[in-house]
Amino acid sequence: MKSWFFSLSLLSAVAGCGGSNTTTQIPLPNQQTQPGKYLFAAVYENNAWAKTKKGFVIKGNGDLYSFDLSDTNATLPATEQASEAELTRFFEAARFEFVQTVSAEQLNQLWLQGRDLNNNTLGKEQSSCRDAGKYQYLMFQPVGNQQYRQALIYQTGDFRREQQDSKAELLKDYLVKQAVKLQIAYILDPDGNNWCSGL
């Protein structure tokens, strides 16, 4: 009986050591392994001709909502860290409409690509356009206790700034495509500089 138990224990240990080529990623301090209530957003604001404040947000469950806050005084928290309550007050202050659900596979790919991004890898701000407003493409990384780190992926409009981390490229492309589809950003000239239009 003892030898049978020893053999079984040895087989379990060997199976646990070898077999798979997959590696388990150990989360960084304050990093959660799952998205929180909010995951990504695109926010467009412009006060040059008429007050405009609209965009979309992708929740941690994959649901994508468009919002229009043009008739409100809602403001996105200006600090790098924000609470879930502050984000909810902003995104859901006025028109907040369900658009679609992002597939679980796509959502997981985006989450894994961006969860280590931080604002320390942002490039310098450049002046690019005039009266174009501000387009911000953001990621919200949960850091515990219903708090989020707001990581800027890309900003354009009057001023342009973007992540230098290559992992941000996939996120930027995906979010900009969604913004064009929802008519938040626009392709003005297929062969030209579209930074003023949110691209």
pLDDT in tens, the chain (199 residues): 444 444 434 434 434 444 444 433 334 444 456 889 999 999 999 887 778 999 999 999 999 999 999 999 899 998 889 999 999 999 999 999 999 999 999 999 999 988 888 888 877 877 768 777 889 999 999 998 999 999 999 988 888 888 888 888 999 999 999 999 999 987 777 666 667 777 7
* Number of alpha helices (DSSP H) and beta strands (DSSP E) in the chain: 4, 9
Q: How many CA atoms lie within 13 A of 90 on its CB side?
A: 19
**51 phi/psi in degrees, rounded to 5:** -70, 115
Q: Find out whether 114 and 171 touch, Cβ atoms under 8 Å.
A: yes
- The letter for the amino acid at 111 is W
Residue with tokens 């006060």: 47
Give the pLDDT confidence score for residue 149 in this predicted structure: 92
Extended beta strands in 25-167, E state: 38-46, 52-59, 63-68, 81-83, 95-101, 126-127, 134-144, 147-157, 159-162
Give the pLDDT confidence score for residue 24 in this predicted structure: 39
